[in-house]
Amino acid sequence: MATYRKLPSGKWQAQVATAGARKSKSFASKRDAIAWAVRFEEAARTGTVALNKTFAEALEEYRLKVAPSKRDYEFEDRRIRYYQRDPIATKRLADLRVKDFDDLAARRLGSTSNRTGRPITRGTLARDMNLLSAVLHWCQRQGYLKDFPLGEHGLRERGVLEDGGEGAVAVTQKRGNLPPVKQRPAAVQGNRVLRNGFR
């Protein structure tokens, strides 16, 4: 549904919230604002909003608008900048598929860390996939993306920890002959798992 208001500058601002997509824009006349809002609502309804936005553009927007409010901003900023240089970043959001993330995971596991020089572990890949999953969910809420393209990567399941306790474990599912990789939660005290962040 669209709302319109006259700004102190004399321009008209249209604000649209439909199908999970929210956007506002200012125009010289109310007629232009209404026309834009009708076009935007139709695009959101048909799933054609931001068809030309690339993954790199979405990553940059997330990095500037969402990541600064996070506790681990430095990590997210560094990881997002890394993935903006990856070949997947040139793809349009509408063209992203599970295979693209399978290829990204294979590239990532076959590389070494720029900071430490050591091979990338599956735990690092799981953390990166969780970040990319958050970016893609944010894109869906903004109306940039209709279907979630990440597939099975970055899922969370319940499992048994090595010390016998039960708790949530992050799981990165891989296709092919690699088994699921489990990552222990950050805090374990005896057999009790502190479930902070494991929802």
The model carries a pTM of: 0.56
User: What distance in Å separates the CA atoms of residue 151 and residue 100, rounded to the nearest whole number?
Assistant: 10
Range with the poorest average pLDDT among 6-20, 56-70, 157-171: 157-171
| Per-residue confidence band for 76, with pLDDT thresholds at 50, 70 and 90 | very high
138, 22 Cβ separation under 8 angstroms: no
What is the pLDDT, as a whole number, of residue 93?
A: 86
pLDDT > 70? residue 136: yes
Instruction: Look at the block and give the residue holding tokens 């990095």.
Output: 63
| Per-residue confidence band for 186, with pLDDT thresholds at 50, 70 and 90 | very low
pLDDT > 60? residue 148: yes
pLDDT > 90? residue 52: no
* Rg (the chain; Cα; Å): 21
pLDDT > 80? residue 125: yes
Range with the poorest average pLDDT among 2-11, 43-52, 126-135: 43-52
The CA-based angle 98-99-100, given to 5 degrees, is 90
Q: What backbone phi and psi angles, to 5 degrees, belong to 92?
A: -70, 145
